[in-house]
Amino acid sequence: MRLMIKTDYSGMSEWVAHYVVQKINNHKAETDKPFVLGLPTGSTPLGTYKALIRYCNSGNVSFNNVITFNMDEYVGIPKNHSQSYHTFMWDNLFSKIDIEPENVNILDGNAPDLVKECEDYEHKINAYGGIDLFLGGIGSDGHIAFNEPGSSLSSRTRLKTLNNKTVMDNARFFDEDTSQVPTVALTVGVGTILDANEVLLLVSGHSKALALRHIIEEPINHMWTGSALQLHKKAIIVCDDDATHELRVGTVRYFKELEELNSVQEI
């Protein structure tokens, strides 16, 4: 696992956007060979999305032959609700880049058969040959996508009940009113994420510091589902200094030294 420590949120976001752009461009995506990108919602990826929009508008990248799969979606709020992940993605990224609407995949939390919706999602990912790069964030309890503590580390896309901590964390998007936060969601599984060719997690701020420690320094544990990344053949975590506050000084130095040695990025 690679850990990139950037000074601040802006440096982290710029690094990740540049990395994604290089990945798409190096893939030389064409209609019959699209680049398949997994995407998260949340406050953490917003800086990356802004930078990707800038790269797209300046002609440095095109999303024309990029297929996206989002990680998750709430159940029980309309697609056009201001806090649905459909709305989030269209407002913060898709409406501002040159992606074809039919190439965007987001789970439908209002599908008549939610189990089938999840199974179809897995089949569709497989039909494209899997995900080339899955971007993600982590929750303060170490969850990836909505794989809450205790989730199976081989889980697939499914219906998931959200725990109190996640509901409280997400209340900031629902006028701080926890009663309005959906308590059920559809989410890709930990196994779905691990199947991607490459996984890149963004981690920013003190509130994620304990989770980052569990993911980087502690053993793989289903109570911190992000720690499953230790099993992945190509995982990168990009964080800011604030997120490293619970790591050992030696761990931070170790990864910083590695990145200095490795400063020619292996993209």
| Amino acid occupying residue 14 | E
Sheet holding 198-203, edge to edge: 2-6, 235-240, 198-203, 133-137, 35-39, 66-70, 104-105
Kindly tell me which residue out of 38, 47, 109, 139 binds ligand PGA, with binding defined by CB under 6 A: 139
Number of residues that bind ligand PGA (CB under 6 A): 6
Binding to ligand PGA by residue 82, rule CB under 6 A?
no
DSSP structure class, residue 31:
T
Question: How many CA atoms within 13 Å lie on the side-chain side of 198?
Answer: 16
- Active-site residue (options: 73, 117, 132, 141): 141
Write down the least CB distance from residue 184 to ligand PGA, Å.
16
Burial of 127 per CB tally in 10 Å (0-12, 13-18, 19+): exposed
Give the 3-state DSSP-derived string for 187-223, with helices as H, strands as E and coil as C. ECCHHHHHCCCEEEEEECCHHHHHHHHHHHCCCCECC
Question: Is 32 annotated in the active site?
Answer: no
Considering the complex, state which of residue 92 and residue 152 has its C-beta at the smaller distance from ligand PGA.
92
- Active-site residue (options: 132, 148, 169, 195): 148
Tokens of 46: 């917003």
| Amino acid occupying residue 23 | K
Write down the least CB distance from residue 149 to ligand PGA, Å.
12
Number of H helices and E strands in the chain, helices first, is 8, 10
Write down the least CB distance from residue 253 to ligand PGA, Å.
26
CA–CA dist 23, 171 (Å, integer): 35
∠212-47-133 over CA atoms, to 5°?
65
Considering the complex, state which of residue 18 and residue 143 has its C-beta at the smaller distance from ligand PGA.
143
Kindly tell me which residue out of 44, 151, 155, 157 binds ligand PGA, with binding defined by CB under 6 A: 44
Tokens of 152: 């199976």
Write down the least CB distance from residue 96 to ligand PGA, Å.
19
For helices 46-57 and 9-27, the axis angle rounded to 10 degrees is 50
Binding to ligand PGA by residue 43, rule CB under 6 A?
yes
Q: Which stretch binds ligand PGA (CB under 6 A): 37-45, 104-112, 156-164, 246-254?
A: 37-45
Write down the least CB distance from residue 135 to ligand PGA, Å.
11
Question: Is 132 annotated in the active site?
Answer: no
DSSP structure class, residue 151:
-
Question: Is 141 annotated in the active site?
Answer: yes
Q: Binders of ligand PGA among 99-138, rule CB under 6 A?
A: 137-138
Q: What mask, x for binding ligand PGA by CB under 6 A, covers residues 208 to 237?
A: ------------------------------
Binding to ligand PGA by residue 201, rule CB under 6 A?
no
Known catalytic residues? 72, 141, 143, 148
**Residues making contact with ligand PGA (CB under 6 A):** 42-44, 137-139
